[in-house]
Amino acid sequence: MKVAVVGATGMVGNVMLEVLREQNFPITELIPVASEKSVGNKIHFGGLEFTVVGLETAVSMKPDVAIFSAGGETSLEWAPKFAAVGTFVIDNSSAWRMDPDKKLIVPEINGDSLTENDKIIANPNCSTIQLVLALSPLHKAYGIKRVVISTYQSITGTGVKAVQQMENERVGKQGEMAYHYPIDKNCIPQCDVFIENGYTKEEMKLTNETKKILDPRINVTATAVRVPVVGGHSEAVNIEFERDFDLSEVRRLLHEQPGITLKDDPTTNSYPMPKYAEGKDDVFVGRIRRDESQANTLNMWIVADNLRKGAATNAVQIAHLLLKKGILKM
């Protein structure tokens, strides 16, 4: 099994390698891929040393599967080239997510839809993955009409540059800025760039991807905020249903949803936090309560490590699913 990791030297790429190792994905040949400036560098995986190669070399090696985390432009140009030589591409960028011919996959929700014809598979946005995993069982039970999301997103979603900015600010050191403003002791109500309607791209990803994965009839609106934490993304979510619900049934449905850990006990101050989600693969849900201002409406709080389930873990789970379904041959 030849496995290429495109963007292997980046923050998400490093986590992808870690998850591949932890989940014992059956790799016989690892192909770490990065930009030309990193070609020739060495990385270690499974006790062995591997040399980083460029994209053209990687395509010529015809990997069985290529997991991309190298940005949208790279994915748009190179994913079709890998697919053309028979490689299954799992892409973590936004390049293919809203393409009507490409599937946007969260394995626990819609993984069964994958076929051998799906050579390029889109990994959803990190904030979307944790949201839809919690919404899915509730939509099936009660029918979701509208979702209002406010996110509190880790700086790791921006990358190494953002982490360095915050670390510099905490010791009073001048350095390169990932954001327009200081992030330490601050909240920045801008994730990604603004578009014509006044929303950011991140906010519209939450809207459009949720509709594509769950149901185009669901109304979704979002405000995405960057906060000075590194453990993961948090979301305050308000959900209006078509039918009334029972809180104990809601908790049961979430508890039984694969990939969800329920952490919801106000009597012991038990609720999800990024500090405790960091390094874990589950999505954590808590603060479950009825919205007393409106009928058939629920509030809850969702937290997940954005580098793992929000990116690397979901991608590796897709690869495992391709194996399980016999689409990816060993």
Q: How far apart are CA 88 and CA 80, in angstroms?
A: 10
At position 28, the amino acid (one-letter code) is T
Burial class (CB in 10 A: 0-12, 13-18, 19+), 151: buried
Q: How far apart are CA 257 and CA 284, in angstroms?
A: 11
Q: How far apart are CA 148 and CA 126, in angstroms?
A: 17
Nearest to 158 by CA among 228, 74, 236, 96: 228
Nearest to 126 by CA among 96, 100, 158, 148: 158
Q: Tell me which residue has tokens 């459009």.
A: 208
Residues 60 and 84 sit within 8 Å (Cβ to Cβ): no
Q: How far apart are CA 65 and CA 68, in angstroms?
A: 10
Residues 95 and 72 sit within 8 Å (Cβ to Cβ): yes
Hey, how many other C-beta atoms are within 10 angstroms of the C-beta on 198?
A: 7
3-state secondary structure of 286: strand
What are the E-state strand segments in 70-132? 88-91, 120-122
| Span between the terminal Cα atoms of the chain, in Å | 6
Q: Hey, which residues are catalytic here?
A: 126, 233
Q: How far apart are CA 150 and CA 58, in angstroms?
A: 40
Nearest to 307 by CA among 74, 146, 132, 130: 130
